Structure 1
Amino acid sequence: METPEVRLATARGRWILFATVLGSTMAMLDSTVVNVALPQIGLDLDADLAVLQWTVNAYLLTLAGLILVGGALSDRYGRRRIFVVGVVWFAVGSLLCGLAPNAGVLIAARALQGVGGALLTPGSLAIIQGSIHPDDRGRAVGLWSGLGGVGAAVGPFLGGWLVDGPGWRWVFLLNVPLAAVCAPVALRHVPESRDPQAAGRFDVAGAVLGATSLGLVTYALIEARSGSPWVITAGVLGLVLAAVFVVVERRRAEPMVPPDIFASRQFTAVNLVTLCVYAAFGGFFFLVVLQLQVVCGYSALAAGAALLPTTLLMLTLSARSGELGERIGPRIPLTVGPLLCAAGMLLMLRVGPQASYGRDVLPALVVLGLGMVALVAPLTSTVLASVDPGRAGLASGINNAAARAAGLLAVAALPLLAGMGPEAYRSATQFDAAFGRAMPWCAGVLVLGAALAWATIRTPAPDEPHPHAQCRTQCGVTGPALEPGEPWGPERLD
Structure 2
Amino acid sequence: MPDPLLELRLFRSVPFSSAILTALFALCGFGAFLFVTTLYLQNVRGMSALTAGLCLLPVGALIVVLAPLTGRLVGTRGPRLPLVVSGAALALGGGTSIWLGPATPLPAVLAMYLLFGIAQGTVNPPITNSAVSGMPASMAGVAASVASAGRQTGTTLGVAIAGTVVGSAASRGGTAFTAAAHDVWLLVLGLGVGILVLGLLGTGRWASDTAARAAALFDGVDAGAAAGPSRGARVHTHGNG
TM-score interval (norm. to shorter): 0.7 to 0.9
| Aligned equivalents of 2:183, 2:105: Cα separation in 1 | 21
Identify the residue that residue 33 of structure 2 maps to in structure 1.
284
Instruction: Report what 2:190 is aligned to.
Output: 444
CA–CA distance in structure 2, aligned partners of residues 354 and 316 of structure 1: 31
Which of the numbers 130, 148, 152 marks the counterpart of 1:400?
A: 148
Give 1:406 shift.
2.0
Q: Which amino acid aligns with 1:366?
A: L
**Whole-angstrom distance in 2 between the partners of 1:373 and 1:413:** 23
Given that 1:267 and 1:386 are in contact with CA atoms closer than 8 Å, whether structure 2 keeps it comes out as no
Structure 2 counterpart of 1:320 = 69
Q: Is the 8 A contact 2:18 2:202 kept in 1?
A: yes
Mapped to 2, the partners of 1:323 and 1:287 lie a distance apart of: 32
How far apart, CA to CA, are the structure 1 residues paired with 2:35 and 2:2?
Answer: 39
- Please say if residues 131 and 143 of structure 2, whose CA atoms lie closer than 8 Å, have aligned partners that are also in contact: yes
* Alignment check: 8 A CA contact 1:342 1:368 kept: no
Give the AA of the match of 1:368.
F
Q: Distance in 2 between matches of 1:423 and 1:367?
A: 27
For 1:355 and 1:401, the matched residues in 2 are separated by 36
Q: CA offsets, 1:74-95, max 9 Å, x none? A: xxxxxxxxxxxxxxxxxxxxxx
Q: For 1:123-272, what aligned pairs fall within 5 Å after superposition? A: 252-272=1-21
The answer on 1:423 being equivalent to 2:178 is no
Deviations, residues 369-390 of structure 1 (Å, cap 9, x unaligned)? 1232222222222223242233
**Residue equivalent to 2:121:** 373
**Aligned residue number for residue 354 of structure 1:** 103
Q: Which runs of 5+ in 1 are unaligned?
A: 1-251, 462-492
- Compare relative contact order (CA 8 Å, sep 6+) and give the higher one, 1 or 2: 2
Rounded to whole Å, the distance in 2 between the matches of 1:440 and 1:397 is 30
Amino acid corresponding to residue 367 of structure 1 in structure 2: L
In 2: Cα distance, 1:306 partner to 1:354 partner = 16
For residue 415 of structure 1, report the CA deviation from its aligned partner: 4.4
Which one of 15, 37, 42 corresponds to residue 293 of structure 1?
Answer: 42
Identical amino acids, percent of aligned pairs: 27
- Could you report, residue by residue, the CA deviation over 1:10-47 in whole angstroms, capped at 9, with x for unpaired residues? xxxxxxxxxxxxxxxxxxxxxxxxxxxxxxxxxxxxxx
Match for residue 309 of structure 1? 58
User: 2:199 aligns to what?
Assistant: 453
Q: Which amino acid aligns with 1:345?
A: G
Q: Distance in 2 between matches of 1:292 and 1:386?
A: 44
Distance 2:22 2:66 in 1: 21
2:160 aligns with: 412
Residue 217 of structure 2 is matched in structure 1 by none
1:434 aligns with 2:165: no
Q: Is the 8 A contact 1:337 1:374 kept in 2?
A: yes
List structure 1 segments (4+ residues) > 4 angstroms apart after TM superposition.
none
Task: Give the structure-1-normalised TM-score.
Answer: 0.39
3-state DSSP class of the match of 2:2?
Answer: coil
CA deviation after TM superposition for structure 1 residue 407, in Å: 2.1
Please list the CA deviations of residues 55-106 of structure 1 after superposition, one character each: whole Å capped at 9, or x if unmatched.
xxxxxxxxxxxxxxxxxxxxxxxxxxxxxxxxxxxxxxxxxxxxxxxxxxxx
Which amino acid is the alignment partner of residue 452 of structure 1? L
1:141-193 CA deviation, whole Å, 9 max, x = no partner?
xxxxxxxxxxxxxxxxxxxxxxxxxxxxxxxxxxxxxxxxxxxxxxxxxxxxx
Check 1:425–1:386 CA distance in 2 against 1; reply closer, same or farther (3 A cut). Answer: farther
Change beyond 3 A, Cα 1:318–1:410: closer
* Cα distance in 2 for residues equivalent to 1:392 and 1:334: 21
Structure-2 residue corresponding to 1:469: none
1:260 is displaced (CA, Å) by: 1.9
Match of 1:389 among 126, 137, 160: 137
The code of the aligned residue for 1:297 comes to G
- Matches of 2:21 and 2:14 in 1, distance apart? 11
What residue identity is the alignment partner of 2:183? R
* Distance in 2 (alpha carbons) for counterparts of 1:263 and 1:296: 48
- Give the aligned length: 208
Residue 79 of structure 2 corresponds to 330
**SS in structure 1 at match of 2:123:** helix
Distance in 1 (CA, whole Å) between partners of 2:61 and 2:20 is: 26
Q: Which has the larger share of helix? A: 2
